[in-house]
Amino acid sequence: MEDLIQEQTIQGWLELDRKGKRRWIVIREGKLFWYKTQTEAKYGGFIDLYRCSNIIPMHERGIERKVIGFTINAYDKKHVFYTKEEEAGKWIESLNIYMSNILGRGTIRRHTRATPVRETILEMEYEEELKEEFSAEKCEQLISDAYQLCSDWYHTPRTFLTGEKIIHKVNGVIMHNWDEFGIEYAVTGSAMVTVYNVRFVPDNDLEFAVIPHLQISKIEAVNEHASNAQKSKLPKFMKKTVPTIRPGNANVMNVLNIECKDGRRLRLTFPLENPGSPRETDSQVVEEFMGQMHVAFPYSVNALFAFRFRQQRDECRSNIIEKMTRAMSVEPSEDVRQRLAAMREDLEAEEDGWTAYSVVDEFRRIGVPNEQWKFTNANCEYRLCKTYPEQLVIPSSVTIEDVKKVANFRSLGRIPALTWRHPNKALNSVIVRCSQPRVGLTNERSVEDEAMCQAIGVGMQGKLYVMDARPKVNAMANQAKGSGYENMAQYKNMTLKFLGIDNIHVVRSSLLKLQALCQPKTLKKRKEYHGWLMSIESTGWLTLIRKILKGARRIAELVEKGNSVIIHCSDGWDRTSQLSALAELMLDPYFRTIRGFQVLIEKDWLSFGHKFAERCGHLSYELDKEYSPIFLQFMDVVFQIVRQFPFAFEFNTVYLIEILDHVNSGLFGTFLCNSIHEREQSSLFQDTYSLWTFINHHANSHRFVNSSYQSPFGMSDPKECHIVDFIDPSTSQPHIVLWEEYYFRYNKHLILPVERGNKLNEVSERIKSNYFGLEAAVKYLLQDPSNVDATQLQELYDRYLNDTFLYADLTPTRHLDDGENDSEDDALSDQDSLNDSPQIADVSADSSPQLGLSQSLFSLTDQGILKQGFLLKKGGNRHNWKSRWFICTPHYVCYFKKQTDQKPCGQVSLEGAKIGTSNRKANCFAIHTVQRTYFISATTEAERDEWMKVLNDVTEKFRISVISVASSET
């Protein structure tokens, strides 16, 4: 060490506190650099020792107070380094000698500072170095790097993620596609394999294809010119080789077919110099490309791109933040400073998605623990059940010894555990989930299990139901294998019902049939509408969706009436997760918000051990018998409910599709592994990002918001108060439709365009069947302006006036099923059933705004105009101010580009809006709505006050109207 000091260089291994990893330290030329390895040329960071005041030793806590490191006090922050006790003293002594003799700085605590003249000169030299290092051009490059890093959360097919590198690339590849007439055409471009996905980049820069490796389910090479279309499948285990293609073989495999789990099929034709007599070099093109695709079939979860993505992105992020902090100290121009500060704030404000769900917080929200329910540590360190969370909620009267005996009686130790509780203490109804009991053919029993089930029903107003998701014949077959279902002769005061939902094998087969039907070759059938419906029905997919929705609705209505429900299937992680989550979605409005839905998935799917790795085939080399789209099925049912209740959900269907895409993306750790225990073992919580980090980022959040969302009871946040707002979806066959937005999104030409007349008829039928009020119907039509015009709205209004159905005459009616009568074993009694009608949008004739009237919305005659004139409006996207013609009606503010325009650019509902002044611009005022805030500026202060007075009068009338309606109902 002394020799190094004489050479004015100090180096060795130290541990940085912020990284927690060892770094190679080199001190030279007055700076302390650290590197990842001893041979690395590029440093990871440095400290300017000219700007450091002193070095302070770090002592271990305790009596001995051993020296375990030291702190260097720099101008901007403290830098802490850790090392072994015998090395710490040498480093401190060497650094003090270096700083004292060479730099003229101080020693431990009693540092000898340089003279003021010397210090001033050093500071001036340092500032000059900083200004040179962070010039205007370099600051722009730093901002560009930060923007590129932020673009990871909203990247497009044209961009690459941080850490994504190209492994192999082939030019001149042809991708086969189909137009709206079903005619195949070719797109030329480049095919490449990266560490994250397979890409096709077209020459026309339009038709990109990006497939994450985890989405791929099958790869095969096909000979385009052979008469029998010989195929060469990818070996099951890859065997670190590729299909053998011998030289001189006339059947060279020059076409690559890639099939995906989401239904996509990519067909790539690779170039051949002479198709008539292919040579060895021709066959090697596909051979090499397939050989590089071994990354599509990872050998372990730790080999996925999610780990590399977070590691490299975190390093880049901390590096850029540090550089931005130093660049801002140089005092750049005000514009550059603001942009640096904004980008740094954006990087520092990234949310940790792993904190989106807290077991304790969620159960406290529903009033647990209480006198009846308690947390238990029986599953601490997963001793009781590997697929359950560590923290469980069980009846207060059940002891840990009883829990252990119940775990031995239930399949895989999945005991009855609370998942949701009704907020009405008078009802005291709950939803509990578990797995099947091990009764076997000998009808074994467990007194502890029976007592635990009885404890679940203590204090409730209604009955206790056991809802077995399986068909009864399947449950009886499991009984022959040693499991089975509860014997009601032993479980007193309980009722057992079978819901008849098919198992994972039926679901897998049904989806494969549906995906085969949703391909371009079925276009002819698609044009024959009746034949198409018959084909869809033959897949059985919609029948499965209807069964699940029907079962979840039964559970929800039972709990709403004060009954408690225990749900299980076989092992309690497939159909049980579907039913419990859907029932809670119908009951609890918090789960219908963006963040609440994340909590629902975390709680009932991830925490309670749905086997995502096996059901999604993450580490499988082919779709084996464990693969089954259970989670896709759940999301499809959620879509059916969202479609029936478009105003009850804060999120839209884009939100559902985004979540589904990332189940098999391999970019986030949220849906990897089979249980929370496996995720902890694989260090997913520390080494990968959560999907909710991406979803909740401000750059994405606006894409998932449903602009028509109406919070229940006017609450700003349903999480604030645990309430029940039961929505009752229809389960009749006509209301269960194919989710074309998802299944046809890669073959959009298969979607039949919706005729305007048909959509209008559909809305009219929904009004008649109590689905929509007039206002809700028009809002539904206006969601897609291309499908509606003023004439249609007038026609709808005329139907509303002339037909026999009026708001006062509307009465809830039970929807008729499609003729299926439930048997006594599989159905609830009529007395236990609730109405099957959805939520009614009751709006009184006096208080409801006539949103859909063509006279008031588009023609806007003087009869309904309160005030009009030109004002300046701040744009929502570009944030520039533009002059617009504003018209205030008794219910809305509409604005036009020109005074003579017949159709407005936009409209602002004044129902629930708040009016206030703003300092964004001179004479500016703001209209605050649930969706956004509109900033408007008048010419003079007097004009601003006039507009605010008119708007406040309108909003006050809304408020008085709501109070009067509530009083009359009371």
In the chain, how long is the greatest CA-to-CA distance? 101
Answer yes or no: 569 catalytic.
yes
Which helix (DSSP H) or strand (DSSP E) does residue 319 occupy? helix 305-328
469 is in an annotated binding site: no
Give start and end residues of each alpha helix (H) in 469-611: 472-480, 504-517, 523-527, 529-539, 541-560, 575-587, 594-601
Tell me if residue 207 falls in helix, strand or coil.
Answer: coil
Identity (one letter) of the amino acid at 257?
N
DSSP type of residue 229? -
Q: Is 749 exposed, middle or buried (0-12, 13-18, 19+ CB in 10 A)?
A: middle
DSSP type of residue 669? S
518 is in an annotated binding site: no
Question: d(Cα 448, Cα 403) in Å, to the nearest integer?
Answer: 8
Question: d(Cα 760, Cα 704) in Å, to the nearest integer?
Answer: 26
Question: d(Cα 568, Cα 771) in Å, to the nearest integer?
Answer: 32
Question: d(Cα 307, Cα 205) in Å, to the nearest integer?
Answer: 30
503 is in an annotated binding site: yes
Identity (one letter) of the amino acid at 467?
M
* Residue 334 C-alpha from the chain's centroid: 37
Question: d(Cα 637, Cα 632) in Å, to the nearest integer?
Answer: 9
Residue pointed to by tokens 């044009």? 527
Q: What is the dihedral of CA 613, 617, 618, 622, to 10 degrees?
A: 150
- Cβ contacts of residue 86 below 8 Å, gap of 6+? none
Helices 504-517 and 541-560 pack at an angle, to 10 degrees, of 130
Which helix (DSSP H) or strand (DSSP E) does residue 796 occupy? helix 790-802
Question: d(Cα 374, Cα 360) in Å, to the nearest integer?
Answer: 11
480 is in an annotated binding site: yes
In contact, 852 and 774? CB cutoff 8 Å: yes
In contact, 458 and 395? CB cutoff 8 Å: yes
Candidates 150, 385, 569, 894; catalytic one? 569
Which residue, among 700, 6, 661, 625, has the nearest Cα to 353 in the 3D structure?
700
Which residue, among 478, 481, 470, has the nearest Cα to 507 in the 3D structure?
470
Identity (one letter) of the amino acid at 769?
S
Question: d(Cα 583, Cα 548) in Å, to the nearest integer?
Answer: 10
449 is in an annotated binding site: no
Tell me if residue 91 falls in helix, strand or coil.
Answer: helix
571 is in an annotated binding site: yes
23 is in an annotated binding site: no
DSSP type of residue 755? P
- DSSP lists the bridge partners of residue 881 as 874
CA-only gyration radius of the chain, Å: 33
569 is in an annotated binding site: yes
- Cβ contacts of residue 744 below 8 Å, gap of 6+? 518, 750, 751
Q: How far is CA 743 from CA 215, 362, 750, 753, in A?
A: 15, 34, 10, 15
In contact, 188 and 173? CB cutoff 8 Å: yes
Q: Dihedral of CA 86/92/97/102: which sign?
A: positive
In contact, 420 and 726? CB cutoff 8 Å: no
274 is in an annotated binding site: no
- DSSP lists the bridge partners of residue 884 as 871
Q: Is 101 exposed, middle or buried (0-12, 13-18, 19+ CB in 10 A)?
A: exposed
Question: d(Cα 725, Cα 272) in Å, to the nearest integer?
Answer: 63
Question: d(Cα 699, Cα 350) in Å, to the nearest integer?
Answer: 11
In sequence order, what DSSP letters do the residues of 543-562 get, joined into one string? Answer: HHHHHHHHHHHHHHHHHHTT
Catalytic residue IDs: 569
Binding site for substrate: residue ranges? 478-481, 503-504, 569-575
Binding residues: 478-481, 503-504, 569-575
